[in-house]
Amino acid sequence: MEDNTIDPELESNKIAEDDDTFQHINNPIVGIKPIIKKYLGVPNHADQIGNKFFLTDGEAKVEITVVTDQIIRVRLAPHGVFLEEFSYGVPKLVQKATAFTLFENDTEFRVSTGVINCHIRKADFFISFSDSNDNVTSTDAVPMHWEENVAFGGYYVFCTKTCGPKESFFGLGDKPTELNLRGKRFVNWNTDAYSFQWNQDPIYRTIPFYISINEGISHGIFFDNTYKSHFDFGSEEKNKTSFWADGGELQYYYIHGPHMMDVVKNYHILTGTHPMPPLWAFGYHQCRWSYYPEAKVTKIAKTFREQKIPCDAIYLDIDYMDGYRCFTWNKKYFPDPKKMVKELAADGFKTVVIIDPGIRVDDNYWVFKEGKEKRYFCRRSDDYFMEGHVWPGRCQFPDFTNPEVREWWGGLFEGLVETGVAGVWNDMNEPAVFGTGSFPDDVRHQYDGHRGSHRKAHNVYGMQMVRSTYEGLRTIMKNKRPFTITRAGYSGVQRYSSVWTGDNVATWEHLKLGNVQLQRLSMSGISFCGTDIGGFSGEPDGELFTRWIQLGTFAPFMRAHSAGDTKEREPWSFGEPYTSINRKFIELRYKLIPYLYSTFWEHHRYGFPILRPLVMQEQIESDNYFRQDEFTYGDKILICPVLEPGQKSRKVYLPTGKWYNFWTLEVVEGGKEVEVLTPLETIPIFVKAGSVIPEYPVMQYVGEKEIEEVKLNVYYSDYVANSFFFEDYGETFAYEQDIYSEKKFAVDGNKTSFSIQQSLEGLYTPRYETYSFTVSGLPFKPSKITIDGKAFKDFAVNADKILEFKYSKNFKKIEISK
């Protein structure tokens, strides 16, 4: 792949505007006239139109848009003409700022919301941001600049900001490297990265969004540019952070914190959140390349039930198709797919099938014929079809950036849905092409009417494929929630799909990597994520597989997957003690589904990430900028996976506050590291004091039985703490009409009493009537309980000093005293 990486800030690259030097190193076309880097000059005045402010230096124009009180967008038009407003990342830019003003003095123009200021320095067009306490959070190190692209037209665009001595950086999606990105440089170009390695770059996704933390204050930059983009976090020059792209507009959003959580929430305001998935999607999923023929699939399903290991979904990889032709079945392996899928469903299994974008060139194949007739396949600059080899052989590829093509593709799922398929796995959508890697740059795309070459569309191709799949399924399935998974994506892909981290390897290093990637994806907007549990290629031993199941239990998306040339890889494949431990963890997954579902709701509704690295929990503690093994699952449960073979114990840092060891219920004071035993049967799990964690009974699959009682695990605290519990039908979009129940629990305690209060929002009423309570950690022997003002006698304290009782789900206030 041509690499146009250039060093934006090397002294050698700095050329005065009138400097006509021939720049060989940056010139993609040898022998063509010079590429000259130009910098913004001096802003001479500022105009305001609504929430937009325009400044020019004569020719170049800068637009400053106030989006919300915390978000300001900056755009640059080198020759004064902005591109049309269009973004796959930010579908709707709604102005929500309460107030904004323009101020001018001798040295600067300043656009202010109540919360942040954007300063444009008169001397040199430097742009900086500050908060209302005059803390400068981000500032240009040189003015924004650009280079003409003689080969394709348009510009390479650059922005360089200062980098504080201790500034740290997070985000950027799925980069397989340390969580803290300081000192590193990256490129975004969606790439099929089979067996990728630590520090390999780029891999499958493009999420040009980073979160900075400097002097305790956090801000984010979302560089909404779909071309090949680059980020440098103090790598080339310690005191500079740069981002640049090989085309498109210099367009970035400054997103203020001051807390990292605020930055991530605000990023979700721009790019959206994942709609609620069907409840079954939170169960355990079993995948392999490939389960076939039918007898193999049914045997796997049967073994799950015999082994009493819960499982909700079985995946069919490419071999279910006829010659890898999408939307067909291999009738030799699967003579009656509808019957098989129905039988699987009767036993509680959802069938998820893979779909690839490459459509076999074959005039006897209806999908190809239709696509060809309608001219829906991508074409090169001279109108030849874009052809490349993938699984089916010679293929052409739909242009998913064309809304008409998306609608057509979405409709193709009708047959699969009719067969009973419940979910679609979108693969190879970087797009991947054997031999060449991907499409050549000159392939043309409709780009929703904003036409462009593959340079512009490459990084959004996969996202538009899964969008088309999701939207198609949503139409066909009427009011039922579709389930989709994708490999490639661009910022905002979370609006359409879950993602997995791609073709990892069965090594301990990859277990570590997966742990970091999941946290990174989660803080980069993609909360519904998982790894191939066990590693896709290579052979894990029982210990590695079990440790991976333990991590996977707390991945928002939990799926085991393996390549076809590996040994069998089901939770029972390694014998004892592994099978029992795998079962215990998968059961724990099912018990915690109501907690995960509630946490997902927080993501969907409020933009909170599901997995939160310690730095998001406690950004005041600078050691947390480098802690990457642990994370919290939602905000109540802290998980520290075991990432080394044979590990008997490990250090765990607990943020300040009180924590309960999940297994022993011992209360540990946080703000320090503790040594925790890590026998194979457990990993360190801690629950924050004051939490109320809802628990469902273990089932072999979601919805196996009617839930008759929900357990509420209450953890005493001597301060006020809030938890919440979301429920709804679990498979329709009725929640969009407020048909859900969001219960809030508030607990408070002191040395002699403890109270639990419940309040309710929403219109959904679950069918169970009773809660069964366990209250751990009471510092006194409870002798009196009052519920909603009435004395309640039917309680007991068990051998572990846990208070137990049952009561109606409609309680308002429970008071427990000495």
For the question of residue 503 being annotated catalytic, the response is yes
Residue 430 binds ligand GLC, judged by CB under 6 A: no
Q: Which residues contact 652 (CB under 8 A, 6 or more apart)?
A: 630, 638, 640, 673, 674, 675, 676, 684, 686
CA 264 to chain centre: 11
The token duo for 29 is 């076309």
Q: Which is nearer to ligand GLC, 562 or 700 (CB)?
A: 562
Smallest distance, ligand GLC to C-beta of residue 497, A: 15
**Residue that is written with structure tokens 């600059």 in the block:** 381
- Which residues lie below 8 Å from residue 435, measured CB to CB, with a gap of 6+? 388, 389
615: helix, coil or strand? helix
Considering the complex, what minimum distance in angstroms separates the CB of residue 466 from ligand GLC? 14
Report which residue's Cβ sits closest to ligand GLC: 289
Closest-CA residue to 747 (of 766, 727, 775, 772): 775
502 binds ligand GLC (CB under 6 A): yes
| Residues 350-369 within binding reach of ligand GLC (CB under 6 A) | 354
The reply on whether position 724 binds ligand GLC by CB under 6 A is: no
Distance in Å, CB of 603 to ligand GLC, minimum: 25
* Catalytic position from the list 503, 532, 630, 742: 503
List, as one string, the DSSP characters of 1-48: -------TT-GGG---TT-----GGG-SSTTSPPP-EEE-----EEEE
Tell me which residue of 530, 540, 536, 471 sits closest to 501, measured CA to CA: 530
Please select the residue that binds ligand GLC; options are 140, 237, 503, 695, rule is CB under 6 A.
503
Least Cβ distance, residue 204 to ligand GLC (angstroms): 9
- Does 427 bind ligand GLC (CB under 6 A)? Our answer is yes
Question: Closer to ligand GLC at the Cβ: 144 or 318?
Answer: 318
Cα atoms in the Cβ-side hemisphere of radius 13 Å centred on 138 = 29
Which sign, positive or negative, has the C-alpha torsion 618, 621, 258, 157? negative
Dist. CA 190–CA 454, nearest whole Å? 12
CB of 445 to ligand GLC, least distance (A): 23
CB of 318 to ligand GLC, least distance (A): 4
Pick the catalytic residue: 237, 430, 441, 630? 430
Q: What is the distance between the alpha carbons of residues 198 and 177, in angstroms, rounded to a whole number?
A: 6
Q: How far is the CB of 562 from ligand GLC (least distance, A)?
A: 8
Give the number of other Cβ atoms within 10 Å of residue 178's Cβ: 16
DSSP states of 274-326? PPPPPGGGGSEEE--TT--SHHHHHHHHHHHHHHT----EEEE-GGGSBTTBT
246 is catalytic: no
The residues, ordered by sequence, that sit 6+ positions from 786 with a Cβ below 8 Å of its Cβ are: 792, 814, 815, 817
Number of residues in the chain: 818
Rounded to the nearest whole angstrom, what is the least distance from the CB of residue 433 to ligand GLC in the complex?
A: 13
C-alpha 742/C-alpha 731 separation (Å) is 16
Give the nearest distance from C-beta 312 to ligand GLC in angstroms. 19
- To ligand GLC, the closest distance from the beta carbon of 104 in angstroms equals 55
Residue 75 has phi, psi (to 5 degrees) of -130, 150
Mark 265-304 with x for binding to ligand GLC (rule: CB under 6 A) and - for no binding. Answer: ------------------------x---------------
In the complex, minimum distance from the CB of residue 569 to ligand GLC, in angstroms, rounded to a whole number: 12
Helices and strands (H, E) in the chain, number of each type? 12, 54
CB of 493 to ligand GLC, least distance (A): 16
Nearer to ligand GLC, 499 or 756 (CB): 499
User: Cα separation of 740 and 742, whole Å?
Assistant: 7
Question: Is 344 a residue that touches ligand GLC (CB under 6 A)?
Answer: no
In contact, 367 and 359? CB cutoff 8 Å: yes
Q: What whole-number distance in Å separates Cα of residue 611 and Cα of residue 615?
A: 11
Amino acid residing at 756: I
In this structure, are residues 462 and 489 in contact, taking their beta carbons and an 8 Å threshold? yes
**Nearer Cβ to ligand GLC (73/360):** 360
Q: Which amino acid is at 481?
A: R
| DSSP β-bridge partners for residue 480 | 732
Write 735-742 long-range contacts (CB < 8 A, 24+): 735/276, 735/764, 737/763, 738/762, 738/763, 739/763, 739/764, 740/601, 740/764, 741/765, 741/766, 742/601
Mask of contacts with ligand GLC, 523-562, x by CB under 6 A? --------------------------------------x-
**119: enclosing H helix or E strand:** strand 116-121
Which member of 318, 596, 689, 712 binds ligand GLC (CB under 6 A)? 318
Classify the C-alpha dihedral 457-447-244-267 as positive or negative. negative
Is residue 289 within 8 Å of 314, Cβ to Cβ?
Answer: no
The nearer residue to ligand GLC, 249 or 427, going by C-beta atoms, is: 427
Minimal distance, residue 190 CB to ligand GLC, in Å: 13
Backbone angles phi, psi at 459, to 5 degrees: -70, -10
Residues 6 or more apart whose CB falls under 8 angstroms from that of 617 comprise 624, 632, 635, 655
Question: Is beta strand 127-131 parallel, antiparallel or unpaired with respect to 116-121?
Answer: antiparallel
**Ranges within 435-494 binding ligand GLC (CB under 6 A):** 487
- The answer for residues whose C-beta is within 8 angstroms of residue 366's C-beta and 6 or more apart is none
201 counts as catalytic: no
x/- contact string, 128-157, with ligand GLC (CB under 6 A)?
Answer: ------------------------------
Say how many residues touch ligand GLC, by CB under 6 A. 9
| Closer residue to ligand GLC in complex, CB, 212/498 | 498
> Catalytic: which of 57, 140, 237, 427?
427
- Measured in whole angstroms, how far is the alpha carbon of residue 50 from the centre of its chain? 34
- Positions marked catalytic: 427, 430, 503
| Binding residues vs ligand GLC (CB under 6 A) | 289, 317-318, 354, 427, 487, 502-503, 561
